[in-house]
Chain A
């Protein structure tokens, strides 16, 4: 045969990939809409929500704080170098506080959470799906989207800003520790200098941004989990794809949101 089978399948797979993507977005949109509709109708699954808040929030806290601390330290060490070169060493506290609170804190937290929580939700729901537990919930006349998805998504939305706060706090603190080791400066002074000329409202948009990240992580992970097929492999691939897709969408959303925030706030 003269036709190369791989070439043929490549030609075929391009529209398939595009079609698959469109299909995914379509289904995802419908899923999010249905979850939203289900979530606003009482009765609310308060117990499940609290359980998820603990799972998403409290249990991610140590990891998120560690990531924030590492970021703050590295930032202090790196920026100091360049600031010294330009003779703008006194700007170090401001640089650290600003970068940690407006950008590094939110994005690092979102990536850590999409790894930890995205995989957790994706795998848990996928395992429930392939063992027919989600079907069993539905046959008990309970909407699985309300019981499982909406509670997890709400937990992500609420937990993200709080976790970000913790990450930013430990980032700024470790930024100070790193700075003061190189050139002693008291914490009070560091903070005073860092927040100079900045008001509460400067930090508001970046906090709200994290709610959007939480929404993305919760929705993507729940969706990927609840559409799992097959056995152990299906569960594995659901966990993987929910981490990959939620991290990707978080980063993309960050670009868009930063642009919007700059447009509106300045």
Chain B
């Protein structure tokens, strides 16, 4: 009798461990609760809440100026919210100590809307920047190899020696993505990764994000204007309007919605296809 009990216990533990690793059941990697943010008289975020677990991709859509970028900036601790919390990997990105925040940031990849490449460094040096600062175990050769690998992944092999000002906007975006991936993040925050890219490159970036998602079991948020891309890569889609999340769910759930703004977004998508 005891024996069986023990066996059952063991099996349960194993399962719990498996779930822990695969991300199910564990605490969400990203928890945003009730964010409020104003700039002067303008209330940009008005009570935003969502959660993203490992293995999930949340696509955030919304009209220009509804506060999508501001939400991501709060998530990475660049902007303090007026109210509410944003925590990533259990770290309160506004209240925790600088060291805790930096530890969380090392596990996060962030792509800025305008790429924000270091314009005094070459493309390769840009991608190497996080490695130089946080992977002191790598020697110069290993670092170069890793940079090559990352540039190849975003389809930019052979452009490493160029300066950011000498490559196109879409290429800058992809360099920014390579830099965000340098430290093998577990949380990926991408602000319009495919904006300004042709359909073929966009599809490639989508594929890359999905591949990483599968391989590393990431928790990611992708801000995009592209419903096709959102449908492809996201497990859930959130639609923001006037500082609130109007609806959050799968593409099919969005299709059921009778909200005007949701229908308008989907309408446009159908027209495109």
A233 within 8 A of B: no
Cβ A141 vs Cβ B114 within 8 A: no
B130 within 8 A of A: yes
Provide a sorted-by-A list of 10 A–B residue pairs whose CB atoms are within 8 angstroms: A43-B136, A131-B114, A132-B116, A136-B117, A139-B76, A140-B129, A140-B130, A142-B129, A142-B133, A143-B98
Given contacts A139-B105, A141-B102, contact A131 B116 (CB under 8 A): yes
Number of B interface residues in the complex (CB < 8 A) = 23
Q: How many A-B residue pairs have CB under 8 A?
A: 50
Number of A interface residues in the complex (CB < 8 A) = 15
CB-defined contacts of A138 to chain B, threshold 8 Å: 77-78, 105
B108 within 8 A of A: yes
A140 to B116, CA, bound (A): 12
121-166 of chain A: CB within 8 A of chain B:
127-128, 131-133, 135-143
Measured CB to CB, the nearest residue on chain A to B113 is A132
Cβ A136 vs Cβ B102 within 8 A: no
Cβ B105 vs Cβ A141 within 8 A: yes
A4 shortest CB reach to chain B, Å: 27
B126 shortest CB reach to chain A, Å: 9
Measured CB to CB, the nearest residue on chain B to A132 is B116
CB-defined contacts of B110 to chain A, threshold 8 Å: 136, 139
CB-defined contacts of B78 to chain A, threshold 8 Å: 135, 138-139
Measured CB to CB, the nearest residue on chain B to A142 is B133
A37 shortest CB reach to chain B, Å: 10
B106 within 8 A of A: yes
Cβ A135 vs Cβ B116 within 8 A: yes
Task: Please report B residues at the A interface, Cβ cutoff 8 Å.
Answer: 73, 76-78, 98, 102-103, 105-106, 108, 110, 112, 114, 116-119, 129-130, 133-134, 136, 179
B218 shortest CB reach to chain A, Å: 16
If A138-B78, A141-B133 are given as contacts, then 19 extra A-B residue pairs at C-beta distance below 8 Å, sorted by A number, are A128-B118, A132-B112, A132-B116, A133-B116, A133-B119, A135-B112, A136-B118, A137-B118, A139-B76, A139-B78, A139-B110, A140-B133, A140-B134, A141-B102, A141-B106, A141-B134, A142-B129, A142-B133, A143-B98
CB-defined contacts of A132 to chain B, threshold 8 Å: 112, 114, 116
Given contacts A131-B119, A141-B105, contact A136 B112 (CB under 8 A): yes
CB-defined contacts of A142 to chain B, threshold 8 Å: 129, 133
A184 shortest CB reach to chain B, Å: 52
CB-defined contacts of B130 to chain A, threshold 8 Å: 140-141
CB-defined contacts of A136 to chain B, threshold 8 Å: 110, 112, 116-118
A143 to B97, CA, bound (A): 13
Cβ B119 vs Cβ A140 within 8 A: no
Measured CB to CB, the nearest residue on chain A to B78 is A135
Measured CB to CB, the nearest residue on chain B to A138 is B78
B233 shortest CB reach to chain A, Å: 22
A138 to B78, CA, bound (A): 8
CB-defined contacts of B108 to chain A, threshold 8 Å: 139
Measured CB to CB, the nearest residue on chain A to B105 is A141
CB-defined contacts of B103 to chain A, threshold 8 Å: 141
CB-defined contacts of B133 to chain A, threshold 8 Å: 140-142
CB-defined contacts of B179 to chain A, threshold 8 Å: 140
A132 to B113, CA, bound (A): 10
Cβ B76 vs Cβ A133 within 8 A: no
From B98, B118, B136, A133 is in contact (CB under 8 Å) with B118
CB-defined contacts of B119 to chain A, threshold 8 Å: 127-128, 131, 133
A100 shortest CB reach to chain B, Å: 37
A107 to B45, CA, bound (A): 51
